[in-house]
């Protein structure tokens, strides 16, 4: 990771040690230096206004505000998850009720079909009985007229 020492106020030089590279760090204001990722991240975190990242990757500094915002977002996500679970349960209950209603409707439909069939048979029987009665009545009338 490459850093530039900016210095701050009267600070014009910095001396330290990079344990990963096993080398001494000695820079003056405006100097650029190559350090390990761990040392560079530590310098940027410990002295954010004195160093500038030229190249490489730095682990970002996490502030307490960001931690709070993250915690709030996690709480919000947890609440949304609970709400979704409640909604899912409600949908499952409605689906179960719908299936029960469909079963009841199917049973009612079968009963109506059976009733319709029975009515048709009853009508047929009544018509046959009526026709038989009419024939008997007409035969009786004719017999009575003949007498």
Q: How far is CA 61 from the centre of its chain?
A: 32
Q: Which of 64, 37, 67 is nearest to 53 (CA)?
A: 37
Residue range 15-26: average pLDDT? 92
User: What are the structure tokens assigned to 13, written together?
Assistant: 């030089």
Q: Span 60-70, mean pLDDT?
A: 74
- Residue found by looking up tokens 């230096």 in the block: 33
Locate the domains of the chain by residue range: 2-55
71 Cβ contact partners less than 8 Å away, ≥ 6 residues apart: none
What Å distances lie between residue 6 and 9, 35, 43, 75, 131, CA to CA? Answer: 10, 16, 12, 40, 118
Q: What is the pLDDT of residue 56?
A: 73
60: confidence class by pLDDT, cuts 50, 70, 90:
low
pTM exceeds cut of 0.85? no
The band of 104, judged by pLDDT with boundaries at 50, 70 and 90, is very high
Q: State residue 62's pLDDT score.
A: 60
Model pLDDT, residue 66: 77
Q: Quick check: 67 pLDDT over 90? A: no
Percent of the chain with pLDDT over 70: 95
| Of 49, 46, 45, 22, nearest in space to 35 by CA | 22
| Beta carbons of 44 and 51 less than 8 angstroms apart | yes
């Amino acid at each position: 990771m490459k850093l530039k020492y900016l210095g701050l106020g009267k600070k014009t030089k910095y001396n330290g040690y990079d344990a990963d590279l096993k080398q001494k760090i000695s820079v003056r204001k405006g100097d650029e230096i190559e350090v390990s990722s761990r040392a560079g991240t530590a310098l940027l975190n410990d002295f954010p206004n004195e160093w500038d990242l030229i190249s490489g990757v730095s682990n970002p500094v996490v502030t307490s505000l960001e931690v709070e915002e993250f915690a709030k977002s996690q709480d919000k996500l947890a609440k949304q998850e609970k709400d979704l679970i409640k909604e899912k349960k409600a949908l499952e209950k409605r689906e179960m009720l719908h299936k029960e209603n469909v079963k009841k409707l199917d049973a009612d439909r079968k009963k109506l079909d059976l009733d319709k069939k029975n009515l048709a048979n009853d009508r047929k029987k009544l018509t046959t009985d009526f026709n038989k009665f009419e024939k008997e009545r007409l035969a009786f009338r004719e017999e009575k007229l003949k007498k």
